[in-house]
Structure 1
Amino acid sequence: MNGFLVIFFTQQSRRHEGRMLGEWVVDLAKELGLRGATMTTGIEGFGHSGQLHSSHLFELADQPIEIRLALTEDELTRLFQRLDAEDLSLFYIKAPIELGTLGQKASP
């Protein structure tokens, strides 16, 4: 099946509705019934402003965060409509992909 890989980039310090933005996006994906979302943390990175974001031993607030989703076109439309309604500023990458499942049994 054809779809899209969407990757959102943010920092651990960013909040939406009083929660970490990355967690809020993952919970939104679950609420919308999407097939899954994976949030990972980065060690270091910089964005459009050129400001370096990194994790430090005692301070993780500026740590880079990625949220990855493999979506059908319909799922992508529903997610982006909802994010647009929230009036968020959130950088993303969207690329066409082939997605599917191998094997007969789903993993727990």
Structure 2
Amino acid sequence: MNGFLVIFFTQQNRRYHGKMLGDWVVDLASELGLRGATLSSAIEGFGHTGRLHSAHFFELADQPIEVRLALTPEECTKLFERLDAENIELFYTKAPIEFGLLGKKSRDPITSG
């Protein structure tokens, strides 16, 4: 299947609707019925301002966070339209990819007992 790898970058201290922004994006992906999202934390990085963001032993609030999603073009459109409606400032990258599932076709845990 062809689609896009979308990666959102933020910091742990950013909040939206009372949640960590990264968690909110993962919850939104679930709400929209997307196939999955992965939330990862990084040790350090810097953004457009050149300011270093890092995870310190005593203070994790500035820790860099990534949310990764493999999306079909339709799913990507649906997600970006919703984020645009929320008016959130959020840096992202979007790259064309091919994705799929290898191995035996697994049973759907929702429909199989």
Same fold per superposition (TM over 0.5):
yes
The superposition leaves residues 55-104 of structure 1 with CA deviations (integer Å, 9 ceiling, x where unpaired) of 00011000000000000000000000000000000000000000100111
Question: In structure 2, the residue corresponding to 1:7 is in which secondary structure?
Answer: strand
Deviation at 1:106, TM superposition (A): 2.9
2:96 matched residue in structure 1: 96
Equivalent AA in structure 1 for residue 96 of structure 2: P
Where does structure 1 differ by over 6 angstroms across 4 or more consecutive aligned residues?
Answer: none
Higher-Rg member (1/2): 2
1:34 matched residue in structure 2: 34
Question: In structure 2, the residue corresponding to 1:50 is in which secondary structure?
Answer: coil
Q: Percent identity?
A: 73
Task: Using structure 2 for the length normalisation, give the TM-score.
Answer: 0.93
Describe how 1:1-108 pairs up with structure 2 within 5 A.
1-106=1-106
Structure 1, unmatched stretches of 5+, are: none
Task: Using structure 1 for the length normalisation, give the TM-score.
Answer: 0.97
Structure 2, unmatched stretches of 5+, are: none
